[in-house]
Amino acid sequence: MLPSKFDLLVMKFGGTSVGSASAMKTVLEIVRDEKKKWKNVVVVISAISGTTNILLDTAAQAAAGDDALISKSVSELRTRHFEILDQTVNTPEININVKSSINELIEEFRSLCHAMFVLGETTPRALDAVASLGERMSVRLLAAIFNDAGLPAQFAEATEMVITNNLYQNANPDFPATQVATHQKLRPLFSDGITPIVTGFIGATPQGITTTLGRGGSDYSAAILGAVLNADDVWIWTDVDGVMTADPRIVKDARTIPSISYSEIAELAYYGAKVLHPKTVKPVVEAGIGLRICNTFNPTHPGTRLIANAEVQEPTEISQIIKAVTTIRNQKLVTIEGRGMLGVPGLAARAFAAVASTGTSVPLITQSSSEQSICFAIPSAPSDNVINALRNEFVKELANNDIDGVFASEPVSILTVVGYGTKNTPGIAGRIFSKLGDEAINVLAIAHGSSDVSVSLVIGSKDDSRAVLALHNLIN
């Protein structure tokens, strides 16, 4: 029988948190301090900042028939990791062993890229093998730093713990299998007083084939491990002081939100806030685990604590309801319209099945009350594929003029106002539209009512920064 809670903390550190020798030393000190307070600590880390981009860009170029970047990238990866190692690990034996281990991974990368160059193509499975190498190098590096500093640590490959399906590049975990594998791997380390340092972002199929959980998936990895280990808390360490009321690059006086509900953070993560991977919330909520977002470079700051929806006190003032404003850029609005759509069952189902066939996610949907048009947002990149899929699906209706057209707009942004009570509080929508009207910002579409904690609006891309600034003024 698996144990109940046993004083366990899971901490995840992102790419910037391990992106330099000084950052790695900061992580060491954070973990050392928390080890004094917690019986067991699990560390989950990302690749050092920029590494995954190097890996995937090189692979893509090789598959396109250009191998010129391979040697340069191999050299850059080696230099990045070895420089950090030489600045942090003074024990010759540890230094030499880790360099040898990292070199093996870099040569594996070179071989994979050459194979893609020869074949002239790549596959999602091959890309996962390439993308995983960044985390596999960083865990070896951080474990060496810990051991050199006298803090016993062991790197652990998530491929031996996080069991997933074979949906490469965006795999989903099998939680029961992951729970068994994780306990088998980590419990002996806990018994020996060793801190596990686990690769974020990656997992493996039951056959042992490497998968990834989607870009930014290290947050999700920490939540998965926290859930299957029945941890007391999961802390996500990043480079900002928790969840902010808006992007500080747009709003200079954006500030940290001390506490936020699970529903609110889920909306923020889905609609563009980069502080947390969208899938992170679900396993933590279902396991009843605490979640905190902290700043590696300001570790004394309390950050943002996530709280259960049931713990949220119903606000009474509009200025207290709105907690944050966020935006997703590089979207397009797709419209399907025609008088022949009126009252015809199944058209929406066919439309979204066609969109799904392209692997495209739809973040926002609206439909006219007359049923003569459907409008939805999609990312700009796959818009041509989506339009073609829809026109193929409705080729007969287009020929018969039952559907007048299927078309995509110019680039737009989705602006989302997040706060508990936006659905049931009179005046929220009015205040939002008034603020945007004062700035002469036109709203192209709106989704309100499907969520208790958000209002989403589609606006022209050129207006998004001004819109965020205007709506941020509604926050108390």
3-state secondary structure 248-261: CCCCCCCCECCEEE
Q: Which of 34-48, 243-257, 371-385 has the highest mean pLDDT?
A: 34-48
The predicted model gives 93-106 an average pLDDT of 97
pLDDT at 151 over 80: yes
Q: What is the DSSP string of 334-381?
A: EEEE-GGGTT-TTHHHHHHHHHHHTT----EEEE-TTSSEEEEEEEST
Sequence-separated (6 or more) residues with CB below 8 Å from residue 66: 117
For residues 248 and 123, the model is more confident at 123
What's residue 319's pLDDT? Answer: 58
pLDDT grade, residue 423 (50/70/90)? low
- Residue 3, pLDDT > 50, answer no
**Residue of higher predicted confidence among 448 and 48:** 48
Rounded alpha-carbon distances, angstroms, from residue 291 to 11, 214, 226, 234: 10, 21, 10, 5
Instruction: Find out whether 323 and 406 touch, Cβ atoms under 8 Å.
Output: no
pLDDT of amino acid 425 = 72
Look at residue 1 in the predicted model and tell me its pLDDT. Answer: 35
In the prediction, which pLDDT does 451 show?
66
CATH number, span 8-239: 3.40.1160.10
pLDDT tens for 215-265 read 888 999 999 999 999 999 999 999 889 988 998 889 999 999 998 888 888
In this predicted structure, the answer to whether residue 370 has a pLDDT above a threshold of 70 is no
Q: In the chain, what are the domain boundaries?
A: 8-239, 324-472
Topology of domain 324-472 in CATH is VC0802-like (3.30.2130)
Q: Determine the angle formed by the axes of helices 175-191 and 218-228, rounding to 10 degrees.
A: 80
pLDDT in tens, 185-203: 999 999 999 999 999 999 9
Asked whether 159 and 210 are in contact (CB, 8 A), the reply is: yes
Nearest CA to 202 out of 252, 159, 234 is that of 159
pLDDT at residue 94, as a whole number = 97
59-66: average pLDDT: 95
Please state, rounded to an integer, the average pLDDT across all residues of the chain. 90
For the CA atoms of 102, 106, 109, 113, the dihedral, rounded to the nearest 10 degrees, stands at: 180
